[in-house]
Amino acid sequence: MKITDILPAALVIPALKGRTKETVLRELAEHLAANYPEIDGNRLVEVLWERERLGSTAIGDGIAIPHGKLAGLKTVLGAFGRHPEGVDFQSLDGNPTKLFFLLVAPEDSVGLHLKALARVSRLLKDESFRAQLMTATDQHDLYRCICEEDEKY
């Protein structure tokens, strides 16, 4: 599975505006829902919050991978957002979270969901890649960085 299979350029947000965990999750969910009419943005926010209650999806190093499953989807979908200042996402390391990769999978797709999480996690572990994402100038540049890194694996 490639990241570019689940993340179109239109779903890359270069400057998230939300200032809290709740507003960032809503911004990502609404952006995804705006591009996929089969997704109810409010229901997606509920699903993401259900997962966050189990433990923060902010894994440290400025990264969060909010994720969940929705009935009615046929494949895994993603959205990427960058928050230049960072927000408190209750990260494992206590630092602000700046890079967000939202994943939503079909309700019955354990394997695909886990493969997507593993792929995103592997890409974002690279410190130089994270630095490139933070210095990319716009949506096009961010997406190019993601595509180039995705091709390495």
Diameter of the chain by CA atoms? 38
Chain-centroid distance, C-alpha 67:
8
State the pLDDT at residue 58: 97
Q: Give Cβ neighbours of residue 28 (< 8 Å, ≥ 6 apart).
A: 13, 16, 66, 79, 81, 100, 102
Where does 1-150 show beta strands of DSSP type E?
A: 12-13, 58-60, 63-64, 67-70, 77-87, 97-106
Q: What is the pLDDT of residues 49-85, one digit of tens each?
A: 999 999 999 999 999 999 999 998 999 999 999 999 9
* Domains of the chain: residue spans and CATH: 3-151 (3.40.930.10)
Give the helix ranges, DSSP H, for 20-59.
Answer: 21-35, 41-54
Q: Give Cβ neighbours of residue 2 (< 8 Å, ≥ 6 apart).
A: 119, 150
Question: Which residues are identified as catalytic?
Answer: 67
Query: Is residue 149 helix, strand or coil?
Result: helix
Q: What is the pLDDT of residues 8-39, one digit of tens each?
A: 999 999 999 999 999 999 999 999 999 999 99
Q: What is the pLDDT of residues 91-135, one digit of tens each?
A: 999 999 999 999 999 998 878 889 999 999 999 999 999 999 999
